[in-house]
């Protein structure tokens, strides 16, 4: 069973349910899409919860984290190499070191999320 943090008795799933429940409906919908997309793209991945936000782990390592905010959702970590590779597709989205923000005022770009998560899978496996 995936645990949330060292020493915690509460499974990640319980933390994720509580996190989602605390989000406004529009944010919750976008977060669910990110979650479903990341898990679908990374066979064998499991859910986690750390840094007070949901994550997806692959091969025991953090693959991505995702979070909801009032006006956007965020996907982490999207490093420099991935941002450079997807520069054209990320145009129009706010990015910062390791983060891509998807505004809630637009539909979530599920295809882009898939490509970013796939790039993270490749990145993680390369580092193995």
- Residue 7 pLDDT: 41
**Which residues span the domain enclosing 101?**
12-126
**Residue 3 maps to a domain:** no
- pLDDT, one tens digit per residue, over 1-11 is 343 344 444 68
Spatial CB neighbours of 55, under 8 Å, sequence gap ≥ 6: 47, 48, 49, 62, 63, 64, 65, 66
> Distance between the two ends of the chain, CA-based, in angstroms?
23
Number of domains in the chain: 1
**Residue 107 maps to a domain:** yes
- Residue 10 pLDDT: 63
- pLDDT, one tens digit per residue, over 57-110 is 999 999 999 999 999 999 999 999 999 999 999 999 999 989 999 999 999 999
> Tokens standing for 38?
């990341």
Which residues are paired to 80 by β-bridges? none
What is this structure's pTM?
Answer: 0.89
- Residue 15 pLDDT: 95
> Tokens standing for 49?
């919860």
CATH number for the domain that contains residue 104: 3.90.1150.200
Residue pointed to by tokens 């979070």? 67
């Amino acid at each position: 069973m995936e645990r949330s943090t060292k020493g915690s008795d509460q499974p990640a799933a319980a933390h994720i349910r509580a996190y989602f429940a605390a989000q406004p409906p529009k944010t919750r919908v976008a977060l669910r899409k990110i979650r479903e997309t990341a898990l679908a793209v990374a066979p064998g991945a499991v859910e986690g919860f750390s840094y007070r936000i949901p994550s997806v782990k692959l091969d025991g390592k953090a693959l991505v984290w995702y979070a909801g905010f009032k006006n956007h959702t965020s996907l982490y970590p999207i490093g420099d190499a991935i941002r450079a590779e997807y520069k054209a597709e990320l145009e129009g989205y706010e990015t910062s070191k390791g983060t891509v923000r998807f505004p809630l005022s637009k539909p979530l770009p599920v295809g882009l999320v898939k490509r970013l998560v796939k790039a993270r899978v490749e990145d993680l496996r390369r580092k193995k």
